[in-house]
Amino acid sequence: METYDLIIRNARLRGLEGVHDIAIKDGRIAKIGIITGKGENEVDAGGKLVTESFMNPHLHMCKVYTFKQIGEESLRQYHEKSMGGAMTAIELASKIKERYRADWIYENAKKAALEALKHGCTHIRAFVDTDTKARLEGIKALLKLRDEVKEFMTIQVVAFPQDGVLRDPGSEELVRKAVEMGADVVGGIPWIEYTEEDSKAHIDKMFEIAKEYDRDVAMLTDDAGDPGLRTTEYLALKTIKEKWIGRVTACHARAMEFYPEPYFRKLAHLLKTAEMSIVSDPHTGPLHARVRELLDQGVNVAFGQDDIADAYYPYGRNKMLEIAFLCSHLLWMTSLRDMEILYDMVTRMAGKAMNIKNHRIEVGAPANLVVLNAENVYEAIWYQAEPRYVISRGRIVAENEEITRFHVKI
Ligand SMILES: [Zn+2]
């Protein structure tokens, strides 16, 4: 008789009729269907939905839970209707970095990582401020955490020069140092520079590091209400020129909302050619990338948590089903078909945005799964119930139970 490490019995799978068993061996999906063999461990999904685990391609992980320390002023600026105060918000928020220390950042980030696991999110792309104020304190904290959790969770550490590269002399060297220390991804925020020329130089310099150390690139582009911001375009052009196809992601790109149609179409075409993903976070600012139209144009679009209780957003708990629920409202994606897309955007497409290969339920794929407490995607997004089991690298890493006792009779 065949034996497996783990078997999930009676699982409902997206797009398939009936229930199926999933057998897992050596961290991978070994078989799907009727499984006669035995598992060292077996769980019964009881006809509930089993899908790929959630992934979060954008989180400012060195800033989590700092909201109370920093106060509300930068949040007020960032959330102004036109997002005209976005740059002021970043300047105000950077104050906290004078107090940056690896020890408390590590504790906060650990709390956020456990929250993610609880809610079924197994992969996080962590943007970590790497600049002359933050120095390498956040990087030290997140690299330590990344290594500690690596058996059951993926944290990709992004060396992120939050205050600019040209605007903050010294940050380029710090990003290089962070990558030498082991940061996985080279970051950037080109729109924050003072001139278009500087924005381009910012992208060029960060690409130099990415190429030298063979790293993926993830930048925050055009994150304010100014249609003149066009760094997403240059990032795509640079990606094509440097043949970094499929390795680059742009987060936010909120100015896109104001682009004239012909320019938007050209940009979408460039993004597709560069196989660049867009990570949108409509819940953290009043503007957002043109998600629906990008999807229509065939661009890979995912949602990120972006912030957890920091200077830019007061809520957040690394719960990607909550993000899907919020975005369903903010983007008015409320049809059953839309919900399937929203779900993809926090699972498969989020994985693609993080350059995670093969995040699918299929034989041979890594077994990163959630056994939901819902029968379908609609119910999952509607109730956002905690997953009954969270499976990472082929083993159960979290289990949730929901208990309600009514003390009334009807
Ligand atoms: Zn962000």
CB 2 within 8 A of CB 12: no
Give the domains, in start order, of the chain with CATH numbers: 3-47+360-399 (2.30.40.10), 54-353 (3.20.20.140)
Tokens 């948590």 correspond to 305
How far is the centre of ligand 1, averaged over its atoms, from the C-alpha of 362 (Å)? 32
How far is the centre of ligand 1, averaged over its atoms, from the C-alpha of 9 (Å)? 39
* Nearest of 313, 280, 315 to residue 79 by alpha carbon: 313
pLDDT (tens digit per residue) in 43-81 = 999 999 999 999 999 999 999 999 988 877 888 888 887
How far is the centre of ligand 1, averaged over its atoms, from the C-alpha of 154 (Å)? 19
How far is the centre of ligand 1, averaged over its atoms, from the C-alpha of 49 (Å)? 31
**Which residues lie across from 302 on neighbouring strands?**
279
What is the identity of the amino acid at 54? F
How far is the centre of ligand 1, averaged over its atoms, from the C-alpha of 239 (Å)? 21
- Beta-carbon contacts of 76 under 8 Å, excluding residues fewer than 6 positions away, are 85
DSSP assigned state of 85? T
List phi, psi (to 5°) of 262: -60, -40
Q: Which two tokens stand for residue 364?
A: 């041979």
Q: Which two tokens stand for residue 185?
A: 């991804």
Residue 171 to residue 130: CA distance in whole angstroms: 7
How far is the centre of ligand 1, averaged over its atoms, from the C-alpha of 186 (Å)? 15
Q: What is the dihedral of CA 406, 407, 408, 410, to 10 degrees?
A: 40
pLDDT (tens digit per residue) in 201-256 = 999 999 999 999 999 999 999 999 999 999 999 999 999 999 999 999 999 999 99
**Which residues lie across from 21 on neighbouring strands?**
33
List phi, psi (to 5°) of 57: -80, 0
How far is the centre of ligand 1, averaged over its atoms, from the C-alpha of 212 (Å)? 25
How far is the centre of ligand 1, averaged over its atoms, from the C-alpha of 60 (Å)? 6
Residue 289 to residue 279: CA distance in whole angstroms: 8
- Beta-carbon contacts of 133 under 8 Å, excluding residues fewer than 6 positions away, are 94, 97, 98, 100, 163
User: Ligand 1 (ion): which residues have CB within 5 A?
Assistant: 306
CB 138 within 8 A of CB 62: yes
How far is the centre of ligand 1, averaged over its atoms, from the C-alpha of 30 (Å)? 37
pLDDT (tens digit per residue) in 124-169 = 999 999 999 999 999 999 999 999 999 999 999 999 999 999 999 9
CB 62 within 8 A of CB 50: no
The pTM score is 0.96
First to last CA, the chain: 51
What's the whole-number average pLDDT of the chain?
Answer: 96
Residue 183 has pLDDT above 90, yes or no: yes
CB 267 within 8 A of CB 311: no
Q: Tell me which of 90 and 101 has the higher pLDDT.
A: 101
